[in-house]
Chain A
Amino acid sequence: MAVLNLAWKSLLNRRFSALLTIGAIALSVMLLIGVERIRTETRASFANTISGTDLIVGARSGSIQLLLFSVFRIGNATNNITWESYQDIAGHDAVDWTVPISLGDSHRGFRVLGTNHGYFEHYRFGRKQPLTFAQGGRFEDVFDAVLGAEVASELVYRLDQDIAIAHGAGKVTFHQHNDKPFRVVGILAPTGTPVDNTIHVSLKGIEAIHVDWKDGAPMPGTKVSAEHARKMDLSPKAITAFLVGLKSKIATFQLQRKINEYRAEPLLAILPGVALTELWGVMGVAEQMLLVVSLFVVLVGLSGMLVALLTSLNERRREMAVLRSVGARRHHIFTLMVSEAVVLTLIGIGIGLALLYILMIASQPVLQDRFGIVIALGPPGAYELGLLSLVLLAGAVVGLIPAYRAYRNSLADGLTIRV
């Protein structure tokens, strides 16, 4: 205890270099825990890109492929599902609700998704948050469109604006459905999910823009005007995929097997949570690397402390000789040096955490507004505490190096004070 008091006074005496060391450690700890927070939040928000949906059903392909196009709007479906099959499964006893999804068209690089009102009612993201409208409301007419937040902000679209939807998913498309413009009736609030990048229209709208198309190309000489199309039978014949909500989760695997063994056509049902985890496993490497990099930054911070402590040793040789002369033993010298390192690291950790929380509180409104990400402001979790203890332990270990050198010096110097 006597020595701890000495360590503290010694640090105060060298407060300038101590503050620099603490600053370096604080910044590196802030980065480490910040990266860890972001990592956890991205993983959580990724796993919750879609929530509240029990099964996603599409034509038979790979589960990740189905997830990619149905949830992330990446890639294309290999095949469609017939409306009859969809109706059949939707009518199953265990099914609470279904939301059909029809993909394949785009507008200036943003995917167009055909669906029904169930989408706005049942689609959930994050912590089971429902979709909300920033402006306007759902589509009612065949040629109404609801924009995701990112679509509206990037293309600077307002309500009541007319937009043309193109066939195919590329940014540059040859066939624009110019003859049947859609009107913006709603803009969704940001979700931080691919919903932000999606243009939502009704299934009938999708049918309407394709009535005079056949095999992916406009039929020559059979142009159908928007007004005419509106009067035609626009009930969909096929969809790309559909989301299923069950009355009880217990039926999940049973229904999944039933769909996977569906006789009329080859279908695939996936559990979104499982597929998302599978997909994250592929992308998780980058996230691991981020943590490794920030661990190295902490090492850099600690080696700054090592340098500061080692350079102080020469001017402290006299101090060590005096301490030895009044009876300081080996463990006193070690405790003195190591506790200085531990105190520096502890204060660094404290300030680093304080800085991080200030930063998180300051940036939270922006993150929520712009990206729909809600960062939990809770106390450090078990894993974070583990990381912090690791940093503290590393700090103590770093302190052993100058401690050993100081003791070695004091043996060589004996009780003479080198000037």
Chain B
Amino acid sequence: MPKSIIEVQQLEFAWESEQTPVLSIASFKVLEQERIFIKGPSGCGKSTLLGLLGGVMLPQSGEIRILDQSLIGLSRGDRDRFRGDHIGFVFQMFNLIPYLSVIDNVTLPCRFSERRRRRAAAQSTVENEAQRLLDHLGLTDNTIKAKAATDLSVGQQQRVAVARALIGSPEIIIADEPTSALDTDLRDAFIRLLMADCNTNGTTLLFVSHDGGLSPHFDRVIDFGHINRSTH
């Protein structure tokens, strides 16, 4: 039986200024190598959950375990390190650092995570691994790699962001509305590429979106409204 990679129990989270929690989750589990689609309208607390899973914030009560490590007991710096080592993020847009080249954007996690730097350099060099990932994502054109990150189209930027999330093979990839800035054709192509890469690497994927049309691509669909008991 596959192990669970993310486990959330009795989680309660409220912003400092407010009394009622925005998040209240009794139980939420993700198994290893699962592709999970979390569906919910914007502003329902999805992003807050991602912040908690990333260890940027801590819940007022409850438990979050990732890869058998409780985030609650870790210091702030250790949580930051843990996130950098084990989780790759893809955001809705503006994923790239404008002053870095495409390659530097892809290799960015390796500057902060020694683990991912070592894993990325296992075959040859970090830069070669970035090239390989970009090639794999269809960004084969060498002129693209030389371009400034801001000169790419939105679709290209999102694929660079995926390459960055994948580099150094983190166990989990969390994608927060990564396709909402893309049109339908690009969207499906993007999801296929993301899936293919997660399959090759055996990566667990948490895909958050309000767009239910994407759900057929995934192993399991979770309606965020069902796991969050908070009715703020």
Interface residues of A (CB under 8 A from B): 2-3, 6, 9-10, 12-14, 318-319, 321-332, 410-411, 414-417, 419
Contacts and interface: CB of A to CB of B under 8 A. Distances in A.
Contact of B83 (A6, A13, A322, A327): A327
B51 A326 contact: no
B89 interface: yes
B85 A327 contact: yes
Given A9-B104, A329-B76, 5 more contacts: A10-B99, A323-B112, A326-B113, A327-B112, A415-B56
B101 to A, nearest CB: 9
B59 interface: no
Contact of B97 (A3, A14, A322): A322
Please give me the 9 A-B residue pairs with the lowest Cβ-Cβ distance, nearest first. Answer: A327-B84, A414-B51, A13-B99, A2-B111, A327-B112, A325-B89, A329-B80, A326-B109, A416-B47
A327 B81 contact: yes
A256 B85 CA distance: 82
Interface in B82-105: 83-85, 89, 91-100, 104
B50 A415 contact: yes
A3 B99 CA distance: 13
Contacts of B39: none
Contact of A415 (B51, B81, B85, B97): B51
B171 interface: no
Given A9-B99, A329-B80, A417 B113 contact: no
Contacts of A2: 111-112
A327 B109 contact: yes
Interface in B44-79: 47-48, 50-51, 54, 56-57, 76-77
A10 B100 CA distance: 8
B48 A414 contact: yes
Given A2-B111, A417-B91, A419-B94, A330 B80 contact: yes
12 contacts: A6-B97, A9-B104, A323-B108, A325-B89, A325-B91, A326-B112, A327-B80, A327-B84, A329-B112, A330-B80, A414-B57, A415-B50
A417 B94 CA distance: 8
Interface string B171-189: 0000010000000000000
A327 B57 CA distance: 14
A56 to B, nearest CB: 67
B99 A415 contact: no
Nearest to B91: A417
Nearest to B54: A415
A260 to B, nearest CB: 74
B83 A325 contact: yes
B99 A12 contact: yes
A332 B77 CA distance: 10
B164 interface: yes
A327 B99 contact: no
B50 A328 contact: no
A417 to B, nearest CB: 5
A411 B112 contact: no
Given A326-B109, A327-B81, A319 B92 contact: no
A410 B76 CA distance: 13
Contacts of A329: 76-77, 80-81, 112
Interface string B1-37: 0000000000000000000000000000000000000
A356 B97 CA distance: 38
B94 A330 contact: no
A322 B81 contact: no
Nearest to A5: B111
Contact of B113 (A327, A331, A416): A327
Contacts of B84: 326-328
Nearest to B84: A327
Contacts of B77: 329-331
B93 A328 contact: no
A75 B132 CA distance: 89
